[in-house]
Amino acid sequence: MEDGCLIVGAGDGTVDLLDEINWKGEFPKGKIVNPSKPFFRALKSTKLDGSITSLELMESPTLRGDKRLLLAGTRTSEIYAINVVTFSSLMVVTCHRCAINDVAFPRGMSGVFATAGAGDVRVWCLETCQELLRIVVPNFTCSAVLFSGDGKSIVSGWNDGNIRAFTPLTGRLIYCIFNTHNKGTSALDMTNDGRTLISGGCEGQVRVWDIKPECQSLKKVLKEHKSPVSAIQVSPNDTEAVSAGTDGSCIIWDLISLSRRQVMYANTLFMCVCFEPQGCQLLTGGTDRRVAYWETGSGNLARELEASKVGAINGLDITRNGELFVTGGNDQIVKLWKYQEGIYTHMGLGHAGAVTCCRFSPSARYVVSCCAAGSVIVWRVPEQYLPKEQPPTDRKSVAESPKTLQKELRLPLAEKPVQKASGDRPIKLPAAPSKIEKIEAMDTTRSSVHSCCPCDATARSNKSDKSGSKTGKCCRPPARDFLPTKTTSKEFVSSGGGDRK
């Protein structure tokens, strides 16, 4: 610095402001090991997380003298701003120090998202790209993360074989399911009601868990895959779940009967799988560099697209309306595709490593992608694909002209405004008659059966005729003729007239 002081960063995260000591004579023995000249003393000091890897003193026309800032970079992929006068530190930029394995959004909320990496789970703000919460589990790697349907918990799977759930605000541990898989948990998904959790392990098993606040119990173990399960997703109607494995099989499971419903095979290692919003088709990606369309009912291959020319497809996601989907792979490129046309319209370059996962926000306005280098990039969806929002209709803003007396009288009774007092009882309309009342009101006498006889109309016309001509014989049966009819009189049955002697 200008005054001759020296700023030093150490491996334990300490940043010191040192000044040289001018001793006259010999330095006191036992204080420091020789040779160590010149001698320094620490004027100011601060402690940061992680080893200090770089230091930079920021100075500009607006930042001079006591307003200067010191930027310090650490091995944990964090940058701190240190005030030179007070030596107080403030974290400016942070990200994962290792590969990011998964990213998830809460259901119906685009403001925040969570990422899973080595040793921690982090919650980020989408607009500011600032870290909101860090949940640290040292010495373990989180391979999958998701938000529960109600948004009250963050469920994560770890390589120690445990499934841990945390609160999204404080990061407090809610529950932990121990020893879910022998070789670590590799994939997770949950139903919309949050009562059923499906997990996949590196040994190839798919396990279904019953989640309750007081206990978490195992419902079924499904053994079909022979290699690690790379991805799991539940269907939109919560009745099916699909699991993709690196053994070249993709299996659809019935969550009601807990059995296999359909299986698809391909000459590839499946890395990602996704349900179409209607649940009629599946999208898969793998090491064959292709995106495949599968029919969920028959398990037949409907279509294949060449999504990359270099490496495998590691991440795949589709919008809620089913019009767009996004892919990312080892070629470090994020591509935006049209689902029906099967062509990609936009591509994003910016990752320094292989893209491991990518997700659409629930509003379909942003795409979040993560890579093996630990970086998180938020992409804006082109405006031509954004959902059109209908302007709110303000009915009160329309000036209504006063109605005349004639128009008021023409209104039906139901639409006329009625002024009621505060103590008036609500007017109740009479209820519709029940079936019993309808039957009792029916005329079930024998004469009612032949009420539509044409002879009645002829008799009425003959009475009015002056000639008084005789009518023909009536087609109505005689009164004592006991013929079966569709309707039986109550009086006839009660009097026992139907029994012949």
List of residues 6+ apart from 285 with CB closer than 8 A? 270, 271, 272, 273, 291, 292, 307, 312, 313, 314, 315, 316, 327, 329
Residue 395: pLDDT band with limits 50, 70, 90: very low
Q: What is the mean pLDDT of residues 345-352?
A: 94
**One-letter-per-residue 3-state SS of 435-462:** HHHHHHHCCCCHHHHCCCCHHHHHHHHH
> What is the per-residue pLDDT for 38?
63
Please write the tens of the pLDDT for every residue from 90-116.
999 999 989 999 999 999 899 999 999
Question: Which of 14-23, 291-300, 435-444 shows the lowest per-residue confidence on average (mean pLDDT)?
Answer: 435-444
**Phi and psi angles of residue 297, each rounded to the nearest 5 degrees, phi first:** -75, -50
More confident residue, 388 or 33: 388
pLDDT at 232 over 60: yes
> What is the per-residue pLDDT for 398?
45
pLDDT at 401 over 90: no
Nearest-angstrom CA–CA distance, 400 and 413: 20
Read off the tokens for 144: 């999958």
| Burial class (CB within 10 angstroms; exposed 0-12, middle 13-18, buried 19+) of 140 | middle
Other CB atoms within 10 A of residue 45 CB: 13
List of residues 6+ apart from 319 with CB closer than 8 A? 277, 325, 360, 364
Task: Give the DSSP per-residue string, 261-322.
Answer: EEEEE-SS-EEEEEE-TTSSEEEEEETTSEEEEEETTT--EEEEEE--SSS-EEEEEE-TTS
pLDDT at 464 over 80: no
Query: What pTM does this model have?
Result: 0.72
Please write the tens of the pLDDT for every residue from 194-217.
999 999 999 999 999 999 988 999
Q: What is the mean pLDDT of residues 206-234?
A: 94
pLDDT at 355 over 60: yes
Q: What is the mean pLDDT of residues 424-447?
A: 63
Question: Which of 232-236, 268-272, 400-404 shows the lowest per-residue confidence on average (mean pLDDT)?
Answer: 400-404
Query: Is the separation of the CB atoms in 148 and 160 below 8 Å?
Result: no
pLDDT at 486 over 50: no
> What is the per-residue pLDDT for 387?
73
Q: Which residue has the tokens 């280098």?
A: 373
Read off the tokens for 282: 């599946």
pLDDT at 319 over 60: yes
Amino acid at residue number 185: T
Please tell me what DSSP assigns to residue 415.
Answer: G
3-class DSSP state of 410 = helix
> What is the per-residue pLDDT for 67?
76
Most confident residue range from 47-56, 419-428, 452-461:
47-56
Other CB atoms within 10 A of residue 278 CB: 11
> What is the per-residue pLDDT for 340?
93
More confident residue, 388 or 350: 350
Percent of the chain with pLDDT over 90: 60
> What is the per-residue pLDDT for 493?
47
- Of 444, 450, 426, 439, nearest in space to 488 by CA: 444
Percent of the chain with pLDDT over 70: 73
Domains and CATH numbers, the chain: 6-94 (no CATH), 102-384 (2.130.10.10)
Q: What is the mean pLDDT of residues 51-65?
A: 81
Please tell me what DSSP assigns to residue 13.
Answer: S
- Of 391, 385, 357, 389, nearest in space to 371 by CA: 357
Query: Is the separation of the CB atoms in 80 and 91 below 8 Å?
Result: yes
> What is the per-residue pLDDT for 28?
57
Amino acid at residue number 29: K
Q: What's the number of CA atoms in the CB half-sphere (13 Å) around residue 199?
A: 36
The pLDDT mean for the chain works out to 82
